[in-house]
Amino acid sequence: METTLFEALGGEPVIRRIVDAFYDRIDKSTVFRSMFPADLAETRTKTFEFLVGWTGGPQLYMEKYGHPRLRMRHMPFPIGTVERNEWMRCMSEAVTEVGVDPKAGRAFFDSLWKTADFLRNKPEGT
Ligand code: HEM
Protein backbone atom coordinates (compact mmCIF):
# COMPACT_ATOMS: atom_id res chain seq x y z
CA MET A 1 0.00 0.00 0.00
CA GLU A 2 1.28 3.43 -0.90
CA THR A 3 1.57 5.94 1.95
CA THR A 4 -0.42 9.11 1.40
CA LEU A 5 1.05 12.57 1.94
CA PHE A 6 -1.59 12.91 4.66
CA GLU A 7 -0.05 10.00 6.59
CA ALA A 8 3.54 11.04 5.86
CA LEU A 9 2.88 14.50 7.30
CA GLY A 10 1.41 13.05 10.49
CA GLY A 11 -2.35 13.11 9.87
CA GLU A 12 -5.00 15.46 11.21
CA PRO A 13 -3.19 16.71 14.37
CA VAL A 14 -0.14 17.85 12.38
CA ILE A 15 -2.21 19.46 9.61
CA ARG A 16 -4.23 21.31 12.25
CA ARG A 17 -1.02 22.65 13.78
CA ILE A 18 0.33 23.71 10.38
CA VAL A 19 -2.93 25.54 9.56
CA ASP A 20 -2.91 27.32 12.93
CA ALA A 21 0.74 28.38 12.58
CA PHE A 22 -0.04 29.51 9.01
CA TYR A 23 -3.02 31.71 9.97
CA ASP A 24 -1.09 33.20 12.89
CA ARG A 25 1.23 34.56 10.19
CA ILE A 26 -1.57 35.59 7.81
CA ASP A 27 -3.04 37.49 10.75
CA LYS A 28 0.18 39.51 11.13
CA SER A 29 0.91 39.91 7.41
CA THR A 30 0.69 43.49 6.13
CA VAL A 31 -0.01 42.09 2.64
CA PHE A 32 -2.98 40.01 3.82
CA ARG A 33 -4.53 41.54 6.90
CA SER A 34 -7.21 43.45 4.96
CA MET A 35 -7.88 40.62 2.47
CA PHE A 36 -8.88 38.05 5.09
CA PRO A 37 -11.82 38.28 7.52
CA ALA A 38 -11.11 39.82 10.95
CA ASP A 39 -12.11 36.58 12.64
CA LEU A 40 -10.11 33.74 11.10
CA ALA A 41 -11.77 30.88 13.03
CA GLU A 42 -13.96 29.67 10.16
CA THR A 43 -11.23 30.17 7.58
CA ARG A 44 -8.85 28.09 9.73
CA THR A 45 -11.35 25.25 9.97
CA LYS A 46 -12.20 25.28 6.26
CA THR A 47 -8.55 25.30 5.22
CA PHE A 48 -7.82 22.47 7.67
CA GLU A 49 -10.71 20.40 6.29
CA PHE A 50 -9.60 21.12 2.75
CA LEU A 51 -5.93 20.21 3.30
CA VAL A 52 -6.82 16.93 5.03
CA GLY A 53 -8.65 15.78 1.89
CA TRP A 54 -6.22 17.37 -0.55
CA THR A 55 -3.27 15.43 0.94
CA GLY A 56 -5.17 12.14 0.69
CA GLY A 57 -7.00 11.94 4.03
CA PRO A 58 -10.77 11.98 4.64
CA GLN A 59 -12.67 14.35 2.33
CA LEU A 60 -13.92 16.57 5.16
CA TYR A 61 -14.28 19.73 3.05
CA MET A 62 -15.97 18.05 0.04
CA GLU A 63 -18.50 16.30 2.28
CA LYS A 64 -19.61 19.64 3.72
CA TYR A 65 -19.24 22.08 0.86
CA GLY A 66 -18.80 20.09 -2.35
CA HIS A 67 -16.01 20.71 -4.84
CA PRO A 68 -13.80 23.60 -3.64
CA ARG A 69 -13.48 25.28 -7.08
CA LEU A 70 -10.43 27.06 -5.74
CA ARG A 71 -9.71 29.30 -8.71
CA MET A 72 -13.26 30.61 -8.87
CA ARG A 73 -13.40 31.03 -5.07
CA HIS A 74 -10.23 33.14 -5.10
CA MET A 75 -11.35 35.44 -7.94
CA PRO A 76 -12.69 38.14 -5.58
CA PHE A 77 -9.15 38.54 -4.17
CA PRO A 78 -6.39 40.11 -6.28
CA ILE A 79 -3.60 37.51 -6.33
CA GLY A 80 -0.32 38.25 -8.11
CA THR A 81 3.28 37.16 -7.61
CA VAL A 82 3.64 39.18 -4.39
CA GLU A 83 0.55 37.57 -2.83
CA ARG A 84 1.56 34.09 -4.03
CA ASN A 85 5.01 34.49 -2.50
CA GLU A 86 3.67 35.90 0.75
CA TRP A 87 1.17 33.02 1.07
CA MET A 88 4.00 30.54 0.49
CA ARG A 89 6.25 32.32 3.01
CA CYS A 90 3.56 31.99 5.68
CA MET A 91 3.07 28.32 4.80
CA SER A 92 6.77 27.55 4.61
CA GLU A 93 7.40 29.09 8.05
CA ALA A 94 4.39 27.24 9.46
CA VAL A 95 5.64 23.86 8.20
CA THR A 96 9.12 24.58 9.58
CA GLU A 97 7.70 25.63 12.95
CA VAL A 98 5.60 22.47 13.29
CA GLY A 99 8.39 20.21 12.02
CA VAL A 100 7.53 17.36 9.63
CA ASP A 101 9.42 14.64 7.81
CA PRO A 102 11.62 16.59 5.32
CA LYS A 103 10.57 14.53 2.26
CA ALA A 104 6.88 14.91 3.11
CA GLY A 105 7.40 18.61 3.79
CA ARG A 106 9.00 19.13 0.37
CA ALA A 107 6.23 17.22 -1.45
CA PHE A 108 3.59 19.25 0.43
CA PHE A 109 5.35 22.52 -0.33
CA ASP A 110 5.73 21.66 -4.07
CA SER A 111 2.02 20.83 -4.44
CA LEU A 112 1.00 23.98 -2.58
CA TRP A 113 3.30 26.08 -4.71
CA LYS A 114 1.72 24.77 -7.95
CA THR A 115 -1.74 25.55 -6.63
CA ALA A 116 -0.77 28.99 -5.31
CA ASP A 117 0.80 29.79 -8.70
CA PHE A 118 -2.36 28.62 -10.49
CA LEU A 119 -4.48 30.92 -8.31
CA ARG A 120 -2.76 34.08 -9.58
CA ASN A 121 -5.47 36.14 -11.24
CA LYS A 122 -4.14 39.66 -11.79
CA PRO A 123 -1.79 41.05 -14.41
CA GLU A 124 1.73 41.68 -13.15
CA GLY A 125 2.68 45.22 -12.24
CA THR A 126 -0.80 46.14 -10.95
C1 HEM B 1 -1.91 32.30 -3.65
C2 HEM B 1 -2.22 32.98 -2.58
C3 HEM B 1 -3.55 32.84 -1.86
C4 HEM B 1 -4.29 33.86 -1.37
C5 HEM B 1 -3.94 35.33 -1.43
C6 HEM B 1 -5.49 33.28 -0.77
C7 HEM B 1 -6.50 34.01 -0.18
C8 HEM B 1 -7.67 33.49 0.33
C9 HEM B 1 -8.72 34.26 0.91
C10 HEM B 1 -8.72 35.79 1.08
C11 HEM B 1 -9.70 33.40 1.30
C12 HEM B 1 -11.06 33.76 1.93
C13 HEM B 1 -11.02 33.57 3.41
C14 HEM B 1 -12.42 33.66 4.00
O15 HEM B 1 -13.21 34.49 3.56
O16 HEM B 1 -12.72 32.87 4.91
C17 HEM B 1 -9.25 32.07 0.95
C18 HEM B 1 -9.97 30.93 1.18
C19 HEM B 1 -9.50 29.67 0.94
N20 HEM B 1 -8.30 29.33 0.37
FE21 HEM B 1 -6.89 30.64 -0.28
N22 HEM B 1 -5.44 31.93 -0.91
C23 HEM B 1 -4.27 31.60 -1.56
C24 HEM B 1 -3.85 30.33 -1.88
C25 HEM B 1 -4.50 29.17 -1.54
C26 HEM B 1 -4.00 27.85 -1.79
C27 HEM B 1 -2.66 27.53 -2.46
C28 HEM B 1 -4.93 26.97 -1.31
C29 HEM B 1 -4.96 25.47 -1.31
C30 HEM B 1 -3.97 24.69 -1.63
C31 HEM B 1 -6.04 27.76 -0.76
C32 HEM B 1 -7.16 27.25 -0.18
C33 HEM B 1 -8.21 27.97 0.32
C34 HEM B 1 -9.42 27.39 0.89
C35 HEM B 1 -9.74 25.91 1.02
C36 HEM B 1 -10.23 28.45 1.29
C37 HEM B 1 -11.62 28.39 1.94
C38 HEM B 1 -12.66 28.35 0.85
C39 HEM B 1 -14.07 28.44 1.40
O40 HEM B 1 -14.47 29.52 1.85
O41 HEM B 1 -14.77 27.42 1.38
N42 HEM B 1 -5.73 29.08 -0.92
N43 HEM B 1 -8.01 32.16 0.37
Interatomic CA distance for residues 102 and 113, integer angstroms: 16
pLDDT of residue 126: 61
The full length of the chain comes to 126
Best mutation site among 50, 74, 83, 89 for ligand 1 pocket (most ligand atoms within 8 Å of CB): 74
Q: What angle do CA 91, 40, 70 make, to 5 degrees?
A: 60
pLDDT of residue 1: 64
Q: Is 43 touching ligand 1 by the criterion CB < 6 Å?
A: yes
pLDDT in tens, the chain (126 residues): 679 999 999 999 999 999 999 999 999 999 999 999 999 999 999 999 999 999 999 999 999 999 999 999 999 999 999 999 999 999 999 999 999 999 999 999 999 999 999 999 998 766
Q: Is 48 touching ligand 1 by the criterion CB < 6 Å?
A: no
Q: Is 118 touching ligand 1 by the criterion CB < 6 Å?
A: no
Q: Is 119 touching ligand 1 by the criterion CB < 6 Å?
A: yes
Please measure the distance between the N-terminal and C-terminal CA atoms of the chain and give it in whole angstroms.
47
